[in-house]
Amino acid sequence: MTIVHGPRSCAHIFASSMDLVEMKRADRSTLASSRLRCTDMDDSVSVFGGLDLLRDRILDEINSGRRYIFVVTACVSGIIGDNVPDLVEAIGREHPEVFIRAVMADGNILGEWDKGYVASAEELLTLVDDRVRPENGYVNLIGERYFYRQERDMSEAAELFEMFGLEVNCHLMYRTSVDDIRNFRRADLTAIVEVDKVSMALAAMVENRLDIRVERDLIPTGIRSFERFAERIGEITGDPGPAIEVAAKVRNEYDRSMSLYRRRTAGKRVIVISKFTEDIDWLLELLADLGMDVLKVGIGVKHIWAQEVKVSAYRDDYRFQKDYELEDLRRDLDELAPDAVVSDSGNLYLEECRCLIYSRPGPGVRGTLAHARRLYDLMVLPEVPGWRCIE
């Protein structure tokens, strides 16, 4: 249960985003949006403050039987200076049977997206039961954020470990239950799913608070890292035989697909754009396997929140350009005349040329192969979809 301490607009925007996720996923088991409540702040808070509203809302939820409550602040409560942490702590003392925490995510001066995410995880980790002992064959995954993807993407990480006979113990924090968090220590292997600033912060937190080692570079994307992953799993389980067998089977299927797709893709010239990260080796490897010629790799202008944590191993093999802007793309489209652009974000020039807008595939090889198939299709499609062709 989450209580948004703010006006109804904020809660509505949060709830609607969750609605979208849930409708896309068509998952009948959870309905996070209906577990979101709001203090419905109005004008009176600028005179009286909002703490009375919040206290009433929290007590309503406690009285209706809620036992796990997060209070998330919106910018209004930050501006009027409500002391939410003290109130939440006081209510927590009055109701020791209830787990209640405040996440200061108002975004005025503190609490950007990543900070709110990490702060929520930090509070959740206080639930971990220290009496639980590690068992063989269980894995914790940290930092999955497949917000707008479908259920099958979510299962990729779990399937990856199932191939090797391992089971996911806890997804921190992605559709996790309180029980999963409590039993966090059951896993004997903990890994971050994507190497980014937020995941790294979670990893550090898990290591510092729980003294659990976190693998930072284990989860693979694409065939080569999958093969390294299989090797590591063999080492971890102490039985490399089966792991080698699994890897060989996956490699075999991958090679078969590549030889089919290369019929259309081989020799085609592409520009790659990655606005947010240089961690795209999976893509460069895929394009190489498809026999495509990468003319240039444009890396977007850096944002503070997208701090680079991993650089490409192929820096010296391709023409990388940092701070790649729209004007650069316009010029490159004219001068290099690529067959296609492969980009992680749309923009106005890409609407006029043959392009694949990709998102980073899930763990393993399946998502990478799906991109290969799209590139294969793209080569026979017209440059611009008919619906865009209007006067």
Total residues at the site for other proteins (CB under 8 A)? 46
Q: Which residues 218-247 are close enough to bind other proteins by CB under 8 A?
A: none
Q: Is the bond preceding 154 in cis, omega lying within 30 degrees of 0?
A: no
Alpha helices in 129-239 (DSSP H): 151-162, 178-182, 197-210, 223-237
Q: Work out how close the CB of 68 gets to other proteins at its nearest, in angstroms, rounded to a whole number.
A: 16
- Candidate residues 2, 3, 7, 171; the one interacting with other proteins per rule CB under 8 A: 7
Q: Which stretch binds other proteins (CB under 8 A): 14-22, 128-136, 144-152, 333-341?
A: 14-22
Contact in structure between 350 and 357 (CB atoms under 8 Å): yes
Q: Which residues 276-315 are close enough to bind other proteins by CB under 8 A?
A: none
Residue 9 in contact with other proteins, rule: CB under 8 A:
yes
Q: Which is nearer to other proteins, 1 or 244 (CB)?
A: 1
Q: Work out how close the CB of 108 gets to other proteins at its nearest, in angstroms, rounded to a whole number.
A: 5
Q: Work out how close the CB of 342 gets to other proteins at its nearest, in angstroms, rounded to a whole number.
A: 20
- Candidate residues 120, 155, 321, 347; the one interacting with other proteins per rule CB under 8 A: 347
Q: Which residues 15-54 are close enough to bind other proteins by CB under 8 A?
A: 15-17, 19-20, 22-24, 26-28, 31, 33-38, 40-43, 46
Contact in structure between 197 and 309 (CB atoms under 8 Å): yes
Q: Which is nearer to other proteins, 103 or 365 (CB)?
A: 103
Q: Work out how close the CB of 67 gets to other proteins at its nearest, in angstroms, rounded to a whole number.
A: 17
Q: Which is nearer to other proteins, 78 or 364 (CB)?
A: 78
Contacts 24+ apart (CB under 8 A), 343-348: 343/272, 343/273, 343/274, 343/275, 344/273, 344/274, 344/275, 344/276, 345/273, 345/275, 345/276, 345/300
Phi and psi torsions of 57, nearest 5°:
-65, -45
Joined tokens for residue 122: 């930090």
Task: Round to whole Å and give the CA distance between 189 and 160.
Answer: 14
Place of tokens 């409550």: 69
Q: Work out how close the CB of 61 gets to other proteins at its nearest, in angstroms, rounded to a whole number.
A: 10
- Which whole-number Å values give the CA distances from 123 to 71, 90, 118, 215, in the listed order? 11, 16, 9, 22
Place of tokens 């930072």: 216
Residue 126 in contact with other proteins, rule: CB under 8 A:
no
Write the DSSP string, 353-381: S-EEE-----SBSHHHHHHHHHHHHHTTS
Phi and psi torsions of 160, nearest 5°:
-55, -40
Contact in structure between 243 and 164 (CB atoms under 8 Å): yes
- Candidate residues 49, 66, 68, 75; the one interacting with other proteins per rule CB under 8 A: 75
Q: Work out how close the CB of 346 gets to other proteins at its nearest, in angstroms, rounded to a whole number.
A: 9
- Candidate residues 65, 93, 97, 109; the one interacting with other proteins per rule CB under 8 A: 109
Q: Which is nearer to other proteins, 304 or 390 (CB)?
A: 390
- Alpha-carbon torsion angle 224, 230, 232, 236, nearest 10: 170
Show the site string, 79-108: x = touches other proteins by CB under 8 A, - = not.
Answer: xx--------------------------xx
Residue ranges that bind other proteins, judged by CB under 8 A: 6-17, 19-20, 22-24, 26-28, 31, 33-38, 40-43, 46, 74-76, 78-80, 107-109, 347-348, 351, 388, 390
